[in-house]
Amino acid sequence: MAAIRKTDWQKLPVSLTELCINTTLRCGQSFRWRKSEDDEWSCALHGRILSLRQDSKYLYYRAIFPTASSPLPIPPPSNAPSTTESVAQDEDDTLALVKHYFNLKPNLAELYNQWASADANFKKRAPKFTGVRILQQDAWEALLSFICSSNNNIPRISQMVHNLCLHYGPLIGHIGSTPYHDFPSPEALTSPTVEQHLMKLGFGYRARYIYKTAVMVAKEKGLDWLESLNNPENPPPGVEPKPAGEPVEDGREGYRNAHEQLLALHGVGPKVADCVCLMGLGWSESVPVDTHVWQIAQRDYKFGKGKHSSLTRATYDAVANRFRSLWGKEAGWAHSVLFTADLKAFSERLVAKAEVKEEEQSVKSEADGVEEVESIVRTKTVTKKRVKRALEKDEHHVLEVKEKVVKRNKRRKT
């Protein structure tokens, strides 16, 4: 086992309103974070294992660096680099990585207020889902992760991405007995054996897409090409931001160009391209429209009738344009808050309880000119879970009725 170097826990002042990692890391943006029983999140990221904890005032972070070369697991063979570079103590850039990865520069409370003032539906649903930030991930990781997302759910996508790293990514280190592998390079996935091996791992038709896309990026286009599609307003640390133009309803030129070029890759349709643009290339106006978002558009934004009765490409664009007209150049960010609110994994936050008191009076006895009246208060505790999608049949309405005698009143007949 390779030797490792751990940094001390550091803390960064950030409120749960500005960042909630328990929501952001579970809402279908990144698929490699693991949560321990003591609420610690960890992921191999840019040559280190990054671990996170959070309370109401601080985000705590720690890095674990390898101090020796870590060989890739064998088999299967690949052309991936077999070592990772160690990071010197005085070159620790973990704070800059955390700030960039979690996109901490924008004031999220102000953005939520802006989106809520423009949209009554956002104002209604967002308060229970504060602190959702759009991650600024590596574009290559976002590309392959969202190719895996086609016709898939978050647990299965996470398993596929985990297998990609386990079998083709460089080993960074361990936490306890658990190995952490960084994301594989394009070159690591260009061996002719890759497609068949991914099929055996359960990738299905996505195995061919991943292999062919890796070959295109590694041998034809290059990672420089992919990185050139980044929004210049959101560059990596150390690079000066540049303007990307004023927002327009169908998206700025740089976004449209990035989206169009991504469509040339295997396994990339409009939704996958928009996910990569939003979560890998920094184009926050990008609005991925999958079946969940389509259902939100029908339920809350009056789509689903007339020329937009089904999710065609024209309807896809119309939904995205509608959200951009509502929320501006951060439309993809605002849409992700609503997407998160619609996920089954967070349904417990949507439970609403209400008590309704109904007073009934009935004559119980009459003696000596005294009429005894018993007041019964029936307290109905109604627990409602919003049924968000037809497939979620386990979500239902629950009605619990409790009755109790509250008091006995007496009044004299006249």
DSSP-derived secondary structure for 13-27: E--TTT--HHHHTTS
Tokens coding 237: 């640390």
For residue 126, what pLDDT band results from cuts at 50, 70 and 90?
Answer: very high
Residue 184 has what DSSP assignment? P
Residue 73 pLDDT more than 70? Answer: no
pLDDT of residue 344: 81
pLDDT band, very low/low/confident/very high, at 394 (cuts 50, 70, 90): very low
Sign of the torsion formed by the C-alpha atoms of 112, 118, 123 and 129 = negative
Mean per-residue pLDDT for 115-124?
Answer: 97
Could you tell me what percent of the chain has a pLDDT over 70?
77
Rounded distance, CA 196 to CA 31, Å?
Answer: 23
* pLDDT bracket for residue 84 (50, 70, 90): very low
At 208-260, the pLDDT tens digits run 999 999 999 999 999 999 999 999 999 988 889 999 999 999 999 999 999 99
Residues in the chain: 414
Residue type, 175: I
Amino acid identity, position 19: L
- What's 156-213 look like in SS3? HHHHHHHHHHHHHCCEEEEECCEEEECCCCHHHHCCCCHHHHHHHCCCCCHHHHHHHH
* pLDDT band, very low/low/confident/very high, at 301 (cuts 50, 70, 90): very high
**CA end-to-end distance (rounded Å), the chain:** 94
Three-state DSSP class for residue 57: coil
The answer to which of 89-93, 113-117, 355-359, 391-395 has the lowest mean pLDDT is 391-395
Express each pLDDT in 42-53 by its tens digit: 999 999 999 999
* pLDDT reported for residue 358: 38
pTM score: 0.80
Q: Are 3 and 68 in contact (CB under 8 A)?
A: yes
What mean pLDDT do residues 391-414 have? Answer: 33
Work out the pLDDT band at 5, boundaries 50, 70, 90: confident
Mapping DSSP to helix (H, G, I), strand (E, B) and coil, where does residue 403 land? Answer: strand
Mean pLDDT of 187-192: 97
Task: Please tell me the distance from the alpha carbon of residue 202 to that of residue 290, in angstroms, as a whole number.
Answer: 22
Q: Which amino acid is at 197?
A: H
**302 belongs to the catalytic site:** no
Mean pLDDT score, 363-379: 37
Which H/E stretch holds residue 321? helix 313-327
Whether 410 has a pLDDT exceeding 70, the answer reads no
pLDDT digits (tens, 9 = 90+) for 11-46: 999 999 999 999 999 999 999 999 999 999 999 999
Query: Of residues 200, 219, 271, 329, which has the active-site annotation?
Result: 271
Mean pLDDT, rounded, for 146-161: 95
Overall average pLDDT of the 72-101 stretch:
60
> CA-to-CA distance for 382 and 166, rounded, in angstroms?
47
The pLDDT of residue 28 is 94
CA distance 270 to 219: 24
Q: Is the pLDDT of residue 161 over 80?
A: yes
pLDDT digits (tens, 9 = 90+) for 258-293: 999 999 999 999 999 999 999 999 999 999 999 999
Minimal CA–CA distance to 160: which of 141, 175, 133? 141
- Helix, strand or coil, per DSSP, at residue 171: strand
Name the 3-class secondary structure at 337. helix
CA 30 – CA 16 distance, rounded (Å): 19
Strands (E), 55-184: 58-66, 171-175, 178-181
Judged by DSSP in three states, 208 sits in helix
Query: Lowest-confidence range among 71-75, 157-161, 217-221, 317-321?
Result: 71-75
The predicted pLDDT at position 399 comes to 23
Q: Confirm if 202 and 233 have CB atoms less than 8 A apart.
A: no
Confidence of residue 347 (pLDDT cuts 50, 70, 90): confident
pLDDT at position 354: 38
Computed over every residue of the chain, the mean pLDDT equals 83
Per-residue pLDDT averaged across 316-342, rounded?
A: 96
